Amino acid sequence: MNKEAILNRLKSQFSLERSTAKVLVVGLGKTGLSVAYYLCQLNIEFAVVDSRDKPAFNDELLEKMPDVPVFTGGFDASLFELATHIVVSPGISMQEPVIQQALSQGVVSLSDIDILACSVNKPIVAITGSNGKSTVTTLLGEMAKADKVKVATGGNLGTPALDLISNEIELYILELSSFQLERTSQLNATVGTVLNISEDHLDRYTGMDDYIKQKQNVFAGGGVMVINVDDAEVLKMQKSSREMITFGLNYPADYHIKETKQGRFLAFKEQEILAVNELRIVGKHNQANALAALALGKVVNLSEDAMCYALKHYKGLKHRMQFVADIKGVRWINDSKATNIGACIAALEAFEGKKIILIAGGDAKEANMSELLPSLIEKVQTLLVIGKDAELIKQAVSDLIPVIEVGTLKKAVKKAKKIADVGNIVLLSPACASIDQFENYKERGKCFSSEVRALI
């Protein structure tokens, strides 16, 4: 789309008139920086505000756009009063008093996802869920590449949404968090999905109903809904007026696992597509992720051959059920990306028997850790707990399995080495965020992998 068409859409949808708009970009992280660059390209007047004294991208912004006003060290209410529009980064709560005050006075809120939706006329796939969204996003991207489609993937994962925009792109695949969706009103994706729902981010929401409501925004508009029939909360999101495709591990979901004399197959209705044992990603949760990707790909007309090629070659994401080493008959698995209870349960269910030494803990984000109990009792031989909410997990387990509080990840690896026998699996699947002890889950996963390899 050309610049004039984009500006007309922004004016129509958000009353954003270039000659009079004063946009305040709230937050100077990756998303805020991408918004700043894009507004500059459209010649829209804006300023940037960040509560931190030295935001991560402050120097980069000032180097490339020295004339842009940047205010740091707090949220000055007068800045919000001067704005006609605000673009609030996902890391900042919409409940901040200055933001609520601005909205009550008629300041218009829009997101980077809204701006992207107003800037492209190619199909958009929108993917959210408590778990699996990064896997499905990257897998679907590989399917599109295998079909020779010029595809851009990003959003919550990797590249910020506005940095993806190009006239050459034929398909946009967006991973979207609840934080992005709660401030997005104009997405109207060609196809969207909520992969699953489990407790997450309850430190930012009033409860599960509020969290689910934000996830459901991925279905705003008139696009095809891809529904997980195995998840009761997702199943409630169905709308009889909309076109839907379902997926789930069992028939009668449109995409399901079919049992045959020759083995188990990914299938569409009665048609066998690919043998499960040809997948490189392991576990029932990844079978569900593969089915979801097939359903999404069908809607945007990817060829089945290309999708199967990608499924047979896709190795999964780093820090997500990533094999690290086999040391004297003990397998070490890095699942640091399991930052909530649902992800940890999915990881545990990927293994047979009660052979797991589980390392869990961190910032529980006010989640109810007792929900882990059935899977822990069935799968875990010993639980090693680390981080800020280690005691919370220990209390939830209530001596039903052996629990050792070790404090740090480094100590957990050393302890696991001492107690592991041939046939054990040492699994880092924390069920918690990492920010109490690490910058992010990636740093936590790298630390684990490094400590394990030092044992070799």
On whether the CB atoms of residues 86 and 22 are closer than 8 A, the answer is no
Chain center to CA of 65: 31
Q: What separation in angstroms does the CA of 398 have from each of 190, 349, 369?
A: 47, 21, 11
Do the Cβ atoms of 246 and 267 come closer than 8 Å? no
- Of 85, 201, 319, 337, the catalytic one is 201
Q: Is 156 a catalytic residue?
A: yes
Q: Which H or E run contains 264? A: strand 263-268
Helix (H) or strand (E) holding 63: helix 58-64
Structure tokens at 399: 């001596």
The catalytic position among 131, 156, 289, 424 is 156
Fill in the DSSP letter of residue 433.
B
Beta bridge partners of 266: 257, 274
Rounded distance between C-alpha atoms, residue 388 and residue 401, angstroms: 20
Residue matched to tokens 């060609």: 190
Q: Is 133 a known active-site residue? A: yes
Residue in 133, 337, 355, 379 annotated catalytic: 133
Contact 145, 298 (CB under 8 A): no
SS3 194: strand
- Alpha carbon distances (Å) from 160 to 132, 174, 314: 19, 9, 23
Show which residues are catalytic: 133, 156, 201
